[in-house]
Amino acid sequence: MTVTLETRLGWRAIADVADGQTLSLAPDVWERIDNASRIVARIVETGQRAYGINTGVGALSDTVVDRESQSKLSRNIVLSHACGVGPLLAPREVRAIIAAQIANFSQGYSGVRREIVAHLLMFLEKDCVPDVPSKGSAGYLTHNAHTALVLIGEGTARVAGQTMTGRQALDTIGLSPLVLGAKEGLSLVNGTACATGLSCVALARAEGLLDWADAIAALTLEAAGGQMAAFDETVLALKVSPGVAHVGASLRQRLQGSGLIAAALGKRTQDALSLRAIPHAHGAARDVFDNSARVVDQELASVTDNPAVHGTPDHPVVSSEAHAVSPALGQAADSLAIALAQIGAMSERRMDRLVNPLVSGLPPFLASDAGSQSGFMIAQYTAAALANDNRRLAAPASLDGGLTSALQEDFLAHPTAAANKLLAVLDNAEYILAIELMAAAQAHDLLAPSASQAVGTEAIYRLVRSRIGHYADDRPLGGDIEAVRSLIRDITPPQP
């Protein structure tokens, strides 16, 4: 399928392209790109002083670059900025960054030629994925530079999963290396495409994870004999929050008709907070998600590179600004990371209540033969370790310091670091919830003779059992964790 950019793209469209859809531009978008390119050409022709077009960049912004050297400046910017290190980003993440960069260029304020955009579109169509190291960006720059390397025939890329040089990759998909013009090197490394693209991928993953968190919590709540009075619609309406209302409705619907819940009615005056506060924690995360999604869409609708070129070719205007800094984007990613870390922490506490014989009423650690078997004892250790890791990762990147470019860049908002950190929190949260889901399914195995499950939770239980069997210390538990984590990542939980 193809996503068509007519005016602007939202985060869902970027996520769709990241997952393999192609991207096309409407005629009006191409005209905006061409107009900005003509403005840059006019500036070059007249010699009007403009940052990054005929001056150096960063602390070298007052150094004038003659016309003959402007193409060399663009190439040199790409080469010098391509200094990322560490493991490569996943293809899905690189595709999202490319799509977000095209969206930025489509605004018509960057000044790159249409050939630049056409090459990037071909990368998406032919599944040419530049090798982009995940570390090294204080704000943006390095990640985008590694994609730009391939445009000029440098660097390395994967085409249909095969690694090759940038020049070989271009040849494989029927393209030639580009010779960059004035400003194009700066435009290719500039802007918030990296942080925005990564945030779009994170939003897509987080949306699915929040649905799974509600479904898994319902399965655990049923196994623990939860008291549903706390989730009454009228009671929850006292807490004003769309997220709380949504989660409460989900729990009530999924647990409707549960024999286990009916049998536990009145068993306790009130449940522990890891059970009773599910709508509040999960609902808060949903409210944060909605705000973060709004910020990312706002970013995609914005011009984010510096400088912005506008006006007309006859009356060109170049505006130096700071749109690439994007504190809002860093704060949005940080906020969602905190919310998801809390979801993971609560999941680990619920899982502990299932395996802990002091409170569960079930065999110790859900083992079929406690003593000769350890059951889920050490799986809880893993969940606790991951929850602690998320607690550290939840420290806000947007408050990190850092002075770069000889004091010219003396404030950094770190949106890319925040987005990378959010993706790491998601990794951990998926594993934690997978462990809770495995423990809840095991608990239901043990409870099966006593009372019936709800239809909504039985669907979740059967899906888990289609991937892994009952655990009896008969195989490495890590393989089961990976299988259930893949389930959470790959599919949507069945509706009740």
Active site residues: 51
- As a whole number of angstroms, the distance between CA 419 and CA 397 comes to 9
Q: What is the DSSP letter of 130?
A: E
- As a whole number of angstroms, the distance between CA 92 and CA 262 comes to 45
Sheet holding 128-130, edge to edge: 128-130, 156-159, 162-165
Q: Are 299 and 194 in contact (CB under 8 A)?
A: no
- As a whole number of angstroms, the distance between CA 342 and CA 284 comes to 10
Single-letter amino acid, residue 373: Q
Beta bridge partners of 157: 130, 164
Closest C-alpha to 354, from 459, 474, 471: 471
What is the full DSSP assignment across 15-49?
A: HHHHTT-EEEE-HHHHHHHHHHHHHHHHHHHHT--
- As a whole number of angstroms, the distance between CA 148 and CA 73 comes to 14
Q: Please give the C-alpha separations between residue 442 and each of 464, 471, 490, in angstroms, as whole numbers.
A: 10, 7, 22
- As a whole number of angstroms, the distance between CA 147 and CA 129 comes to 8
DSSP 3-state of 323: coil
Q: Are 355 and 440 in contact (CB under 8 A)?
A: no
Where on the phi/psi map is residue 103: left (φ > 0), alpha (ψ -120 to 50), or beta?
A: alpha
Closest C-alpha to 25, from 126, 93, 104, 92: 104
Query: Could you report how far apart the first and last alpha carbons of the chain are, in Å?
Result: 30
Q: Which residues lie below 8 Å from residue 52, measured CB to CB, with a gap of 6+?
A: 61, 183, 186, 190, 306, 307
Size (the chain), residues: 496
Q: Are 374 and 458 in contact (CB under 8 A)?
A: no
Please classify residue 313 by burial: count the beta carbons closer than 10 Å to its beta carbon, then call 0-12 exposed, 13-18 middle and 19+ buried. Answer: middle
